Amino acid sequence: MGIRLLFLLLALLVIYFIGRHFFRQGQAKRVKVKRGVDMVQCIHCGVHLPESEAIYDEPNFYCCEEHQRLG
C-alpha cells in the first residue's frame, strides 16, 4: 500500500507541474495588449472616428469631404 501511495503522489506532482507549465504559457499570450488609436470628432456632425481616417483642416477634423466643404 505504501508504494501505491508514493506512485499516486508522484503522478499528481507530474500532473501539477505539467499543468502549471501550460497555464503559464496561456497567461503570457493573454498579457499582450494592443495600443489603441487616437479618436477625433467631426466638427460638423459630431461622429467619432480614428484620426488616421479623418480629414484634417486646421484646426478641425471632418469625417468626409462634404462636411469639410460645409464647414
pLDDT greater than 90 at residue 62: yes
> How many whole angstroms separate alpha carbon 57 and alpha carbon 33?
32
**Residue 40 one-letter amino acid:** V
Would you list the DSSP string of 6-62?
HHHHHHHHHHHHHHHHHHHHHHHHHH--PPPPPEEE-TTT--EEEGGGSEEETTEEE
pLDDT digits (tens, 9 = 90+) for 14-58: 999 888 877 766 555 555 556 788 899 999 999 999 899 999 988
C-alpha cell at 25: 504559457
pTM across the whole model? 0.49
Q: Where are the domains of the chain?
A: 1-33, 34-71
The answer for residues whose C-beta is within 8 angstroms of residue 66's C-beta and 6 or more apart is none
